[in-house]
Amino acid sequence: MKHIHRDENGRPEQLSFYGGMATSNGTEWRQEFPADAYSKEIFAAAGLEQSLQNIWSLEIGEQEFFAYALTRPEYKVRVAFDLKNPISPLPSIPN
């Protein structure tokens, strides 16, 4: 899994393309992605030592939810999206 951050002109930001490859510990419903060497390199260069141990995960629960999480020692955030109750798309924003 890679995270791509772009500025308002569409150019990649300095901290972009970080992430990692899925480990063999995953299941058909959940995969973990520990920070790869490139990610650790750019985190260290940016002074983000706490991010060197990042593990991202994606999880899906039988058409009920989709979840994204970030964990590292002493920190965890998880965002889950309810797939059972679709919402109407937002209107387009003109350029």
DSSP β-bridge partners for residue 67: 59, 80
Q: What is the mean pLDDT of residues 76-86?
A: 94
Q: What is the domain count for the chain? A: 1
> Any residues with CB less than 8 A from the CB of 54 and at least 6 apart, and which?
20, 34, 35, 39, 43, 70, 71, 72
Span 28-45, pLDDT tens digits: 999 999 999 999 999 999
User: Which residue segment(s) compose the domain that 24 sits in?
Assistant: 2-82
Question: Does the residue 95 lie in any domain?
Answer: no
Q: Is residue 30 part of a domain?
A: yes
pLDDT of 95 = 66
pTM of the complete model: 0.82
User: Which helix (H) or strand (E) covers residue 39, if one does?
Assistant: helix 37-45
Is 94 a domain residue?
A: no
